[in-house]
Amino acid sequence: MASDSEPRNPPGAPPRHRRIAYELIGCGLHGHHLAGTGAARVRPEDAPLVREGDGLRWHRCLRCDAWLPLRPPEHPEREFPPGRDEVTVPLRGKPLRDRYVLRLIALDRLVHFLVLGVLAGSVLLFVDDRARLRGPYYRILDAVQHGVGGTGGTSGHGFLGDLDKAFAAHASTLWVIGAVFAGYAVLEGVEAVGLWFAQRWAEYLTFVATVILLVPEVYELTGRVSATKILTLVINIAVVVYLLIAKRLFGLRGGGRAEQAERDRDSGWQALERVLPSGR
């Protein structure tokens, strides 16, 4: 049974369909988007935004379509609720869904940017300090190995083996590795910024870069399988499928025109009137 504080339908309004939607997430994070709460009077043509009944004013959330009962304002800010040209309809439907999904991918790319940036910086700093660190590294390694009854030196495997290879590698090789990490970090950073602002070019860039990286990720699984590698592969495959199918890249499912038409259908007053007619 609904509580008194739960949004309900005003008298004369069509029933509101209950469903889990991205609009509910938006209202949960930012609050309901109401219009005309400071108006002194309500006209019949204001029915899509606000209605009166049971001694209350019922204001429609322009994001999730919930109706919230409020008392008329004691000190009105204007005579009537704003007209269509004065109201900015918030994102809803597919545009809102795309914002959350793309920003989730952008956060994933941001993590890649930070990790790769740290790796690039570490490699480049290691090149400059390698000569100074070589002596202490081998002295500490020998002390540890002899202290546990070992024979000293490295086995060529695991983390210590990787460190030994790094000290033995040519400086130019390490510079190339650091530059590759840095370049990849910049690429991930550009993807993150573009996806955060829902840029079409960023969707294509992310798709191409992710598809290319799927090859080494699959190859690594032929050697040693780990939960991290599998999770990374699954996430990247999901990103590729979403961008290709849902975002209609490369002309798929009608391409950019169909994508824009779908966004227009779920934006502005057209979406408001389709979901909940004024009941005139």
Residues 79 and 174 in one domain: no
32 CB contacts (<8 Å, ≥6 apart)?
7, 61, 63, 64, 66, 68
Tokens linked to 84: 């269509």
Residues 2 and 45 in one domain: yes
Q: Which segments of the chain does DSSP mark as H helices, in order?
A: 22-30, 93-147, 158-168, 171-196, 200-221, 227-241, 255-265, 268-275
Q: What is the pTM for the complete model shown?
A: 0.76
Residues 253 and 172 in one domain: yes
For the cut 90, the answer to whether the pLDDT of residue 110 exceeds it is: yes
Which residue range forms the structural domain that includes residue 216?
94-132+168-265
Most confidently predicted of 5-9, 150-154, 164-168, 203-207 = 203-207
Weakest mean pLDDT among 7-16, 41-50, 117-126, 220-229:
7-16
* Residue finishing a domain among 90, 118, 146: 90
The whole-chain average pLDDT of the chain stands at 81
* Residue finishing a domain among 56, 90, 124: 90
Residues 78 and 105 in one domain: no
Predicted local distance difference test score (pLDDT) of residue 245 = 94
Residues 198 and 232 in one domain: yes
Quick one: average pLDDT of 145-164? 49
Domains of the chain: total? 2
For the cut 70, the answer to whether the pLDDT of residue 185 exceeds it is: yes
Predicted local distance difference test score (pLDDT) of residue 206 = 97
Place 243 in a pLDDT band, splitting at 50, 70 and 90: very high
Q: What residue type is 262 in one-letter code? A: E
Predicted local distance difference test score (pLDDT) of residue 166 = 65
**Residue 51 to residues 4, 35, 43, 59, 274: CA-CA distances in angstroms?**
18, 12, 8, 7, 18
Closest CA to 123 of 69, 183, 74, 75: 183
Residues 50 and 121 in one domain: no
Determine contact, residues 271/5, Cβ cutoff 8 Å: no
